[in-house]
Amino acid sequence: MAASLIGMTLPSWASHLEHKLAPPPLLLVQAFVNTLDLDLRTDVLAHADEARAWLADAGLRDPGPSSPGQADTDFAADLQLARDVRESLRAMIARNTEGKPLTEAELRPLEQVTQQAKTRLEVTSDGQVRLGTAIPVQRLADGLAGLLLTIRDAQADGSWDRMKLCGNPECRWAFYDRSHSRRGAWCEMASCGNKLKNRNLRARRAQAS
């Protein structure tokens, strides 16, 4: 069953997202970061075949050799880069809620992307200046650079500030805060907000007695 996003059918690469969805194209950043689900202990990028299929479906990387048995020697390195960049992006989102600067280790995978990616500037016939990566994307670095360009645009229009990480340290799910006050702190009140509040309440009661 396809979930719907304000009347739009959710793309297959975002099928693991259920609520507090970011508007496209930021939705892809959210879907990428949430390929790791700490709560359910699932990771779309844990196994090479599943990871390759998801990255291709999301348009972040060419699926590679189509005939079985043909070597895709770069994939192991790409998979490591994808996992590392995922945590760097999570740290960038965490900065919105926690304010901590990124560490050198968190910045390094992003530097690898910006160094490897081939971005290009183009001026369209209607006079619009665009910065983008080659389409269709073949190399992972270009696909990941596309995510960074999406983040840059979201930073420019202010929507990036609404990307947040769930305040439950065992969850860290990336969600989009559409609340008027912009003070949302949980991926979902029922699954994380109340659970954590109840736990803190129990701890306080135990301390008091």
When the beta carbons of 68 and 169 are compared against Zn ion, the nearer one is 169
Q: Looking at 30, 35, 88, 168, which residue binds Zn ion (CB under 5 A)?
A: 168
Residue 101 and residue 95 in contact, taking contact as beta carbons nearer than 8 Å: yes
- Altogether, the residues listed in the chain come to a count of 209
CA atoms of 5 and 58, how far apart (whole Å): 17
Give least dist CB 203 to Zn ion, A: 19
Report if residue 166 touches Zn ion, rule: CB under 5 A: yes
Identify which range of 23-31, 44-52, 82-90, 173-181 contacts Zn ion by CB under 5 A. Answer: 173-181
Report if residue 192 touches Zn ion, rule: CB under 5 A: yes
When the beta carbons of 38 and 102 are compared against Zn ion, the nearer one is 38
Report if residue 94 touches Zn ion, rule: CB under 5 A: no
CA atoms of 155 and 15, how far apart (whole Å): 25
Give least dist CB 174 to Zn ion, A: 10
Give least dist CB 44 to Zn ion, A: 18
Q: Looking at 28, 45, 187, 196, which residue binds Zn ion (CB under 5 A)?
A: 187
Residue among 20, 41, 39 at smallest CA distance from 31: 20
Report if residue 133 touches Zn ion, rule: CB under 5 A: no
Report if residue 176 touches Zn ion, rule: CB under 5 A: no
Which region, left, alpha or beta, applies to residue 44 given φ > 0 means left and ψ of -120 to 50 means alpha?
Answer: alpha
Report if residue 174 touches Zn ion, rule: CB under 5 A: no
Burial 17-29 (b: 16+ CB within 10 A, else e): beebbbeeebbbb
When the beta carbons of 150 and 168 are compared against Zn ion, the nearer one is 168
Report if residue 171 touches Zn ion, rule: CB under 5 A: yes
Binding site for Zn ion (CB under 5 A): 166, 168, 171, 173, 187, 192
